[in-house]
Amino acid sequence: MEAKHQLHSENYAADISSIKDAHGRISPFIHRTPVLSSESLNYIAGKKLFFKCECFQKGGAFKFRGACNAIFSLMDDQAAKGVVTHSSGNHAAAVSLAAKLRGIPAYIVIPKNAPKCKVENVRRYGGQVIWSEATMPSRESVAAKILQETGAAMVHPFNDGRIISGQGTISLELLEQVPQIDTIVVPISGGGLISGVALAAKSINPSIRVLAAEPRGADDAARSKAAGKIVKLSETNTIADGLRAFLGDLTWPIVRDLVDDIITVEDKEIIEAMRMCYEILKVAVEPSGAIGLAAVLSDGFQKNPAWNECKHIGIILSGGNVDLGVLWESLNK
């Protein structure tokens, strides 16, 4: 499939060149996260697995790469006015931290029903919390008002070439750390992470397969691929709170063209993967972060002959921001 497409920015919002630029820009600020492996998990999966631990990234998730690239890409006069976002999750903390490092204000619009720990994360990194109602229209209108008042720049969580480029830096590191990787399994939500990862990986090695892992209860990307156009769901239902967004107009073409398949998994498979990450890898991984392992262990992957030749599999553990109580409760359900 990849041969049909030129992996250039004329076609897509990012390319290998913008991703390499991003890596140069953010390298002084990010952690080059380690890759872990486990013979026990290799045995269980029947594959060699390589876990890229973005849960150890600053802010506890890969989101810092994209936010850092977007914020350090701003011209000085634009940057001085600050940045705005209305995500309440890992992206909000990442934007706060990157803005703090650049020394500019970060205005974070947070719905009143957001979990306390996420609000605290934003404040800890110096973000200015601005409350909205829980609805998306309220979040967007509050953000628009701040944009107008401050002249700050919007930093979208995924539908932005600078964000996609930042997330793609994961592939540069991973393929340097483990050159024999033939497959990468990536959580999919709005598509920023997998878009960057796929663009970089397939530019470096066109034969690498990129597979998305998606919760059954928020399977808009799988439906979109099947329909050949962006499908949005009227509701989502999954423990993976970071995987509830829908594809954007910049991420969709990349997902459509470069993602080889989307593997959907049940929440109980995600929870079991979280347990394995904790007990075997000794790593705290949030549900959205553990889904790649869940996908590789699922029938959808194991029993599909198309993936028999996948031998060396990179799995992106995308984040580790899971409350211990939540982990414990979900494991005991």
Q: Is 282 in the site for a second copy (CB under 8 A)?
A: yes
Q: What is the Cα–Cα distance from 293 to 13, expressed in whole angstroms?
A: 28
- 284, 293, 294, 297: which one binds a second copy (CB under 8 A): 284
- Beta bridge partner(s), residue 211: 185, 261
Out of 58, 63, 118, 202, pick the active-site residue. 63
Query: How far is CA 27 from each of CA 35, 100, 163, 173, rounded to the nearest angstrom?
Result: 17, 16, 15, 11
- Beta bridge partner(s), residue 111: 132
- 12, 30, 52, 60: which one binds a second copy (CB under 8 A): 60
Cα 98 from chain centre = 16
* Sole window of 29-37, 238-246, 257-265, 304-312 interacting with a second copy (rule: CB under 8 A): 29-37
Out of 87, 88, 132, 165, pick the active-site residue. 88
Q: Identify whether 112 is a catalytic site residue.
A: no
**Touching a second copy, residues 117-136 (CB under 8 A):** 124
| Vertex 298 angle, CA 296 and 303, to 5° | 95
Query: How far is CA 280 from each of CA 40, 42, 291, 326, rounded to the nearest angstrom?
Result: 7, 11, 16, 19
CB of 324 to a second copy, least distance (A): 6
Q: What is the Cα–Cα distance from 68 to 57, expressed in whole angstroms?
A: 12
- 11, 27, 37, 237: which one binds a second copy (CB under 8 A): 37
Q: Is 103 in the site for a second copy (CB under 8 A)?
A: no
Q: Is 325 in the site for a second copy (CB under 8 A)?
A: yes
Q: Identify whether 225 is a catalytic site residue.
A: no
Residues designated catalytic: 63, 88
Residues that bind a second copy (CB under 8 A): 31, 34, 36-37, 39-40, 55-56, 58, 60, 124, 275, 278-279, 281-285, 320, 324-325, 327-328, 331
